[in-house]
């Protein structure tokens, strides 16, 4: 589990993000692919459901809104029923669409996808039909876009440019948006279109092309992570970026930062159902994290997780903060070296509950305790040994870094949660370690349902979190003796004074 990312998600506020780019309407027609047509050698789709979602830049805005941002959108629709429908969806989602301009000279861009189910198995996209005018906006429409963007920039924490090459992101529009953003000290992050000329993105804080787009822009073939890093560095230098980023689908993302960092951030394997919208999700989550004050490393790692969740869904779908948290908390615990003794004891909640079910089926009783365990000392070891003697196995609930800060102050913990978890797991008396992010372990206690809840003797039973819950179903509370002369706080003070 990436506890620092858990902390980041919990710290995300509601930043104001302006999305500039191509507004689209995604239409889905679902049905059963029953047989081959008698008219031609094509599959006959028996449609039963029709659905409309937002695509392109409006997809990025939708994803940002679902992730908790305050989102504004600048773009173009046609003066037609599809444009009205796109505006209605934006309004229903709470996205500020006052910057969406209606252009009588073009239709609203629509991508129509036909999704077939074969014998009720997993649905697959069969064909996509596009309705669009890709000519660049000019004259009055271009001027109106610049005017509405300038008005929105008065109260914006970050600008995302989502360029699908449908005519909105002209050199004039982007140059003005970038200049205005620079004047206000606001970052501009661009997801560029496919093509060789990236000059219109000069002055952005970063760009996020995929490997094909980055290859076309730099004249490179990108098949390795080293080639991706070289392309990211070339784009960074050529465009004057703070960071060049190349997205590498299943291989993660490559970052070449102005400060010299050159890093590839891998992503964990996923069951891929549909890659549609994955790039938009990466863009939205990256922008949200940067707008909330995260650095590029953490923002990219979070974007990897969000993009991975998106490809597990069909079509352009949103991902919530709760889904990201659940994925982070329930993912297998990973260390740099799984040969470290006890590493397998550290488990996410679903795996923990499965293991405890097996233990209970074998007649074992479960003890539970919790704490920060920041700098482990002899008092902790004695305490955990006594806790283990109360039952057949001991579960330790470990406070995440953010919850330690809430309890102990901004200078704690001294050790990150991954290190604290491994030290605990290395003790013979500890059977399981699981990490919780809340300020108290009450939700974890309710999930684990220990037979014995253990806390230090410096507590009164009435003050022990979860005591009433455990005693309510017939369990008991044990107050363990504490060893005199041992205190994490005093130990840290002595180390600092040394």
Q: Which residues are catalytic?
A: 280
Secondary structure string (H, E, C) spanning the chain: CCHHHHHHHHHCCCCEEEEEECEEEEEEEEEEEEEECCCCCCEEEEEEEEEEEEEHHHHHHHHHHHCCCEEEEEEEEECCHHHHHHHHHHHHHCCEEEEEEEECCCCCEEEEEEEEECCCCCCEEEEEEEECCCCCCCHHHHHHHHHHHHHHHHHCCEEEEECCCCCCCCHHHHHHHHHHHHHCCCEEEEECCCCCCCHHHCCCCEECCEHHHHHHHHCCCCCCHHHHHHHHHHHHHHHCCCEEEEECHHHCEEEEECCCCEEEECCCCCCCCCCCCHHHHHHHHHHHHHHCCCCHHHHHHHHHHHHHHHHCCCCCCCCCHHHHHHHHHHCCCCCCCCCCCCHHHECCHHHHHHHHHHHHHCCCCEEEEEECCCCCCHHHHHHHHHHHCCCCEEEEEEECHHHHHHHHCCCCCCCCHHHHHHHHHCCCCCCEEEEECCCCCHHHHHHHCCCEEEEECCCCHHHCCCHHHHHHCCCEEEEECCCCCCCHHHHHHHHHHC
């Amino acid at each position: 589990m990436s506890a620092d990312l858990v902390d980041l998600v919990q710290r995300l506020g509601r930043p104001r993000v302006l999305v500039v780019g191509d507004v689209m309407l995604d239409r889905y027609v679902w049905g059963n692919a029953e047989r081959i047509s008698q008219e031609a050698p094509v599959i006959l789709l028996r449609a039963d459901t029709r659905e409309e979602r937002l695509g392109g830049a409006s997809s990025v805005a939708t994803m940002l809104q679902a992730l908790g941002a305050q989102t504004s959108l600048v773009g173009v629709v046609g003066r037609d029923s599809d444009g009205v429908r796109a505006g209605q969806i934006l309004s229903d989602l709470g996205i500020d669409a006052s910057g969406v301009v209606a252009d009588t000279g073009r239709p609203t861009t629509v991508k129509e996808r036909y999704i077939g189910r074969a014998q009720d198995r997993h649905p697959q996209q069969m064909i996509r039909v596009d309705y669009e005018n890709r000519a660049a906006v000019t004259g009055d429409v271009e001027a109106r876009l610049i005017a509405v963007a300038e008005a929105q920039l008065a109260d914006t924490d970050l600008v995302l440019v989502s360029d699908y090459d449908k005519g909105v992101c002209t050199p004039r529009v982007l140059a003005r948006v970038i200049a205005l953003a620079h004047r206000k000290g606001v970052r501009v992050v661009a997801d560029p279109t496919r093509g060789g000329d990236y000059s219109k993105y000069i002055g952005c804080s970063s760009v996020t092309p995929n490997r094909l787009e980055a290859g076309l822009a730099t004249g490179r073939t990108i098949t390795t992570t080293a080639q991706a890093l070289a392309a990211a560095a070339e784009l960074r230098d050529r465009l004057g970026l703070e960071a060049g980023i190349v997205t590498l689908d299943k291989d993660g993302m490559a970052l070449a930062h102005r400060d010299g960092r050159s890093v590839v951030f891998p992503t964990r394997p996923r069951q891929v159902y549909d890659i549609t919208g994955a790039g938009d999700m990466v863009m939205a989550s990256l922008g949200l994290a940067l707008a909330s004050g995260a650095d590029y490393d953490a923002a990219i790692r979070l974007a990897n997780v969000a993009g991975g969740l998106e490809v597990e869904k069909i079509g352009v779908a949103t991902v919530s903060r709760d889904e990201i948290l659940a994925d982070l908390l329930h993912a297998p615990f990973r260390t740099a070296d799984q040969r470290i003794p006890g590493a397998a004891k550290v488990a996410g909640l679903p795996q923990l509950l499965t293991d405890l079910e097996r233990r209970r089926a074998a007649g074992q009783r479960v003890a539970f305790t919790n704490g920060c365990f920041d700098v482990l000392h002899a008092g902790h070891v004695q305490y955990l040994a006594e806790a283990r003697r109360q039952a057949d196995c001991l579960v330790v609930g470990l406070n995440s870094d953010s919850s330690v800060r809430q309890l102990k102050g901004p200078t704690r913990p001294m050790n990150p949660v991954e290190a604290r978890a491994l030290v605990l797991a290395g003790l013979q008396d500890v059977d399981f370690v699981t990490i919780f992010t809340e300020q108290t372990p009450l939700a974890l206690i309710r999930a684990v349902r220990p037979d014995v809840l253990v806390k230090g003797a410096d507590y009164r039973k009435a003050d022990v979190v979860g005591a009433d819950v455990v005693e309510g179903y017939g369990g008991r509370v044990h107050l363990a003796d504490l060893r005199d002369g041992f205190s994490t706080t005093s130990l840290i003070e002595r180390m600092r004074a040394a």
